[in-house]
Structure 1
Amino acid sequence: MDNQNKNLILATALSFAVILGWFLLFPPEKPEPSPEATQVEQTGAEQAPLTPSNASDQPQAATPPKEPVVDTLADAPRIEIDTPSLVGSISLVGGRIDDLSLKDYRVTLEDDSPIVSVLKPAGDGSAFYALYGWAAGAGLAPQDVPGPNTEWQIEKGETLAVDSPVTLIWDNGNGMTFRREISVDKDYMFTITQSVENASGATANIAPYGLLRRHGKPDNLKSFFILHEGMVGVADGKLTEVKYKKMADFPHDSRDSTRSETTSVAENGWVGFTDHYWMSTLIPAPGTAFKSVAKYDEQRDIYQTEAVLQTQQVADGASSSVTTRLFVGAKEWATLRDYERSGIQNFLDSIDWGWFFFLTKPIFWLLHNINQLIGNMGWSIIGLTLIIKALLFPLAYKSYVSMAKMKELQPQMQALKEKAGDDRQKMQQGMMELYKKEKVNPAAGCLPILMQIPIFFSLYKVIFVTIELRHAPFFGPFQDLSAPDPTSIINLFGLLPWAGPEPGSVMATILIGILPLLLGISMWLQQKLNPAPTDPTQQMIFAWMPWVFMFMLGSFASGLVVYWIANNTITFTQQYLIMRSQGYKPDLLGNILSSFSRKPKAEKK
């Protein structure tokens, strides 16, 4: 077995082993069905265990009423929300933001598909909403401060829109007046200002808070190891991610069924929940100290995050206010970047960049900017491939020059084999002396392939987690580069007007689409730049390798397969031209024909 073929087999086999091993060792988790929340809602959805957390420097948390609230919520008046990006409403019961959908995103590619809904009111099986209020301190009863079921009145505004804020007001009947002003920008950011005027005759100790409450896990939970879904937050520059199932491992509160974890934030931070493409986040003003809390109620299957601000001492005749922000929307890179530049620390880290963040971040930045110029994500991926290959060209050049020199040394290597006979040690020593004399690195041939492994994984991560690839069209039947190839031999690779097998199914894996087929052919042609090895074992490995990769990668996102096809095509061209420039002329046609015969055809110089 000559060293060139050894290196090529080793590098390719290593690539295959890493990819296959990754999926065998870390398979996608099967989604667990979320328990129904209907019974929770009917037996007191707003009970005390999930009120804002107590802390040594906080007043005692308010205890919301335990009576059912579903009927009240269903009949409550609402304020409409209508912006260029959002549509929904705010319930005047609790002043809760609990009905919100994204105008620019649909559930599927179908024209009549509903738009994506992010927040849903209590009473819905997958309720998810934002609540704001004040925790009552010593001397105040829970009913003296606004909570989840407070019936607010509209003081100003009719519809919440950009440049049209609304103000809610509530009088506790004991000399304290609370207001809540809500505004929203053109994207996904709400600004909530909570204020209180104290005319009660005594100093009031109260702590403002905001919380996000989710009843059960999301309906569309992916539960995929490469993707983070669950609690996400930043505390003074430190990112924390906790999956939904891991929230059940939080320290247990012996007083109830709640498990929680609290982090003290000194100056900058935020906390919330992230899904595949959507996120809801509580964001206190930069420079504000607060308690970041994540909770899970085992009994009621409720997940909650809180931002509990420091206690306000409001003297009689005085007033106090605090402003926080709430992000509810799509994790668009450019939008998050703009919010981060405006002062929200590490907001771009809400996108799950993964272990190879030092590669995924610049790769996506480059892909995004190419797409800004081209306007088509498929061609942008091809453009990205060209740039990556250009950056790696010096390494590829050395590798292919080394491979060409290895071919030139074949007669001398064969003479060494004949001279050494069965003495393998003598054979190895002679070959090492030959490599040193001719300045050839036998390991150089596998370096370009090895370099592709982290790049491949990083691009896979980028295509999988970034919303910019979601429903991104290429051409013809390829209208979602984040999904597997929709074509199949069943619909003549997209020429016939009906769908192929369900993506991800066994039939879709067997009856592959045109992109996986092109991937296999491109790998096979690249292989044919060199003559088939004489060893039968090597011949078998080489014969099967392109087609194994073809079926294995066929169920990957079509954008990733486009990258791999482009990469193989460029690699083939580079290798062919460089080897010819070194005086070695690959006999491509001869090697292809020899693959159909028993004896491999010798290359011509």
Structure 2
Amino acid sequence: MDDQNKNLILATALSFGVILIWFVLFPPPEATQDPNAPLAVESTDAVTPSTAPATATTDAANSGAATSVEATAVANAPRVDIDTARLSGSVSLLGGRLDDLKLNDYRETQDPESPIVTFLSPNGEPNAYYALYGWAPGAGLSLDQVPGSNTLWAIESGDTLTVETPITLKWDNGAGLIFRRTISVDKDYMFSVEQTVENTGAGTVALAPYGVLARYGEPDDLKNFFILHEGLISMADGELTETDYDGMTDYTFDQREGAPAEVSQVEANGWIGFTDHYWMATLIPEQGKPFKSVAKYDASRDIYQTEAVMPTIQLAEGETASANSRLYAGSKDWGKIRAYQNDEGVEGLLESIDWGWFSFLTKPIMWLLMWLYGVIGNMGWAIIALTVVLKIIVFPLAYKSYASMAKMKELQPQMEKLKENAGDDRQKMQQAMMELYKKEKVNPAAGCLPILIQIPIFFSLYKVIFVTKELRHAPWFGWITDLSAPDPSSIFNLFGMLPFGVPELGFFEIFSLGILPILLGISMWLQQKLNPAPTDPTQKMIFAWMPWVFMFMLGSFASGLVVYWITNNVITFTQQYGIMRIHGYKPDVFGNITSSFKKKPPEGDAK
């Protein structure tokens, strides 16, 4: 391999290293005349869409007291229990809000006694997060004539919300309008909400149904890792929008002056909500019908809010109207989200998982990994099987590459002779090299192809392992009980033999390497030994240090990713060694290892 080819490989490897260092250092209805018309504010709760002029029920001076009153009202309001295999919690009759939801399948840590994950929580609790439904008043109606966040509903039917038994809530405004809300839930994480209104009074009224998701402050477990999107996510007629929480502060809503800063009209299909690392809450209006998608931030109360406002309904005397919508609230389970999209018509819902730049690779890799997991039943072995399959797929290209590298080794004596003949005339040497390559039908850049192919595959698999919920707390064997977390073994706990984790050591934690990162470094080092060390001192030093630098860098990466890389290195070593031998070049691995430990003699002693 000539210097040009070595430099190309070196540049590629260094670029890859820079990207990895970056990963480590920077952590991984026309209810209004005007679509931007002011919305009303009720107490200190979520801002409620309305056609009424913007008003505030409290001044800045007594906003703290209002918050206390609202939190107390929510805490004291009657509730209806939610009880399914996957979900538990309750629906508050104050506003008919979904504000108490736990995910029964998941715990906060791997300790079987740790608390179940709390997903939604009511106003007054830390990081309150809830869904609220209601009707925005149009012509002829005022705020107190439609149900909102502080409406106290009555139970008409159902005493517990289960998969088999929906609940129906009722509220009579005393002025001729009777409102009902029927809430049902499936066996997973999808709620269905049917809102109906019956006009028993005189005359025609106008009103618009809506859904709201309100989140008080940023989540405590926010990762702030640039490859992972957390925050606002929406789909509008096939166009995905992702905005993090910092970006949402640009959508500041002034409860006295302003309207929502981010409004878009969805013509047929869409949804809007918030996505976390592993969980998601999404408002899904009836597909195939238009709605107004709204995102805003209330800086005075630190509330992030999304809304789905359906078109205004003109309801004549004696008529009844209804509006249907859904709420996804739970785990970002790939299989379930995929089923809601493909089988239940929620267009683009699978895009709620952050697939990254290489989505064309990430999606099929995720599908293949989950298929293998279904067959094998263990995520660690599924990752290894996935690596084998990927190596088989790219084997034809790898074969040509390694065969070309073997041929280059065979041509090494001729290349050295050409360098001697050319002397200092580099142009003459390059021309002679090109003629030799052409004559022997060798592509000097072919050896770089496996590295170039490996980069998008690596990032795609990294996305799958880091982003998807399926690897959260997924065990492999022995001490590897969570493939989404770093290897917990260390010299400080005798590599997992002692029953405690790695102690907090500050900067020195980088030296607390687990077994998997050490095996990764060794596998990279052995792969290098298929070829003699470069003659150029700078290249030689870089190549000598590279395996150990990667070992320390990847020590904090997810175990699943390190398992993939080790498996990949082992297969690559085997393929390259075998193909080179087939084509006449016998790598002297042992000799290259021993030569790397030999001390270089002083220049004066060189013969």
Judge same fold: TM > 0.5, yes or no.
yes
The equivalences for 1:243-282 within 5 A come to 243-250=244-251, 255-256=256-257, 259-282=260-283
Contact 2:238 2:269 in 1 (8 A): yes
Number of the residue aligned with 2:212: 211
Structure 2 match to 1:133: 134
Hey, what's the Cα distance between the residues in 2 that align with 1:306 and 1:180?
Answer: 18
Alignment correspondent of 1:410: 412
Q: Give secondary structure in 2 for the equivalent of 1:595.
A: helix
Give per-residue Cα distances to partners, 1:153-193, cap 9 Å, x unaligned: 11101100001001111111112111111110000011111
SS in 2 for 1:560: helix
Change (3 A) 1:489 1:249: same
Q: What residue is the counterpart of 2:485 in the other structure?
A: 483
When structure 1 is superposed on structure 2, of 477-486 and 66-75 the one drifting more is 66-75
CA contact (8 A) 2:52 2:138 kept: yes
| Structure 2 counterparts to residues 72-471 of structure 1, below 5 A | 72-250=73-251, 255-256=256-257, 259-341=260-342, 342-471=344-473
Residue 65 of structure 1 and its aligned partner are, at CA, apart by: 5.8
Separation in 1 of the partners of 2:203 and 2:54?
19
3-state SS of 2:556 partner? coil
Aligned to 1:2: 2
In 1, Cα distance between equivalents of 2:512 and 2:310: 57
The answer for the alignment partner of 2:48 in structure 1 is 51
Partners of 1:482 and 1:177 in 2: how far apart? 51
Secondary structure of 1:378's counterpart equals helix
Please give the residue correspondences for 1:493-532 in structure 2 after superposition, counting only pairs within 5 Å.
Answer: 493-501=495-503, 506-532=507-533
- Distance apart, 1:18 and its partner CA: 3.1
CA–CA distance in structure 2, aligned partners of residues 28 and 526 of structure 1: 29
- State the 1:536 CA deviation: 2.5
Distance 2:572 2:459 in 1: 18
Separation in 2, partners of 1:72, 1:84: 29
Structure 1 residue 10 displacement after superposition: 3.4
3-state DSSP of counterpart to 1:283? strand
Aligned AA (1:530): N
Structure 2 CA distance for aligned equivalents of residues 300 and 258 of structure 1: 16
- Deviation string, structure 1 residues 205-249 (Cα, Å, up to 9, x no partner): 111111011111111111111111111111111111111110112
What's the counterpart of residue 36 of structure 1?
Answer: none
Q: Deviations over 1:483-505 (max 9, x none)?
A: 111111111211222212359x5
Shift of 1:457: 1.0
Distance 1:61 1:76 in 2: 29
Shift of residue 122 of structure 1?
A: 0.5
How much does 1:354 deviate?
1.2
Q: Which moved more, 1:505-514 or 1:322-331?
A: 505-514
- In structure 1, the residue matched to 2:27 is 28
User: What SS does the aligned partner of 2:201 have?
Assistant: coil
Q: For 1:168, what is the secondary structure of its paired residue?
A: strand
**Is contact 1:64–1:148 with CA below 8 Å preserved after alignment?**
no
Q: How many residues align?
A: 577
- Residues 349 and 216 from structure 1, CA distance in 2 versus in 1: closer, same or farther, beyond 3 angstroms? same
Q: Does 1:558 align with 2:550?
A: no
CA-to-partner distance for each residue in 1:263-290, whole Å, 9 max, x for gaps? Answer: 1011111111111111111111111211
Residue 20 (structure 1) shift = 2.6
SS in 1 for 2:419: helix
Alignment partners' CA distance in 2, 1:548 and 1:538: 15
How far, CA to CA, are the matches of 1:300 and 1:253 in structure 2? 10
What one-letter code is carried by the residue in structure 1 that aligns with 2:282?
T
**In the TM superposition, what is the alpha-carbon distance from 1:532 to its structure 2 partner?**
1.9
Amino acid at match of 1:51: T
- Whether the 8 Å contact between 2:516 and 2:562 is mirrored in structure 1 is yes
Give the residue type in structure 1 aligned to 2:131: A
CA contact under 8 A between 1:63 and 1:142: conserved in structure 2?
A: no
CA shift at 1:554, angstroms?
A: 1.1
**Residue 15 of structure 1, CA deviation:** 2.0
What letter is aligned with 1:112?
Answer: E
- Contact kept? 1:98, 1:121, Cα under 8 Å: yes
SS in 1 for 2:261: strand
Letter in 1 for 2:350: L
Counterpart of 1:391, as a letter, is I
Q: Distance in 2 between matches of 1:83 and 1:305?
A: 27
Distance (Å, rounded) in 2 between the aligned partners of 1:139 and 1:10: 71
For residue 311 of structure 2, what is the amino acid of its counterpart? Answer: Q
Secondary structure of the 2:135 match is strand
Alignment identity in percent?
63
Contact 2:208 2:313 survives alignment (8 Å): yes
Matching residue's letter, 2:78: P
Structure 1 position 62, deviation (Å): 9.2
Q: Secondary structure at the match of 2:462?
A: helix
Bigger shift: residues 573-582 or 254-263: 254-263
TM superposition shift of 1:46: 2.5
Gaps of 5+ in 1: 30-42, 601-605
Q: 1:46 is aligned with what amino acid?
A: D
Distance 1:17 1:327 in 2: 39
Instruction: Using the TM superposition, give the Cα deviation of residue 196 of structure 1 relative to its aligned residue in structure 2, in angstroms.
Output: 1.1
Of 39, 53, 60, the match for 2:52: 60
5+ residue gaps, structure 2: 29-41, 59-65, 602-607
Question: 152-161 or 248-257: which moved more?
Answer: 248-257
1:69 partnered with 2:61 = no
C-alpha distance in 2, partners of 1:444/1:453?
16
RMSD over aligned CA atoms reads: 2.0
Partner letter of residue 249 of structure 1? Answer: D
Write the distance in 2 (CA, Å) between the matches of 1:206 and 1:295.
22
SS in 1 for 2:329: strand
1:586 paired residue number: 587
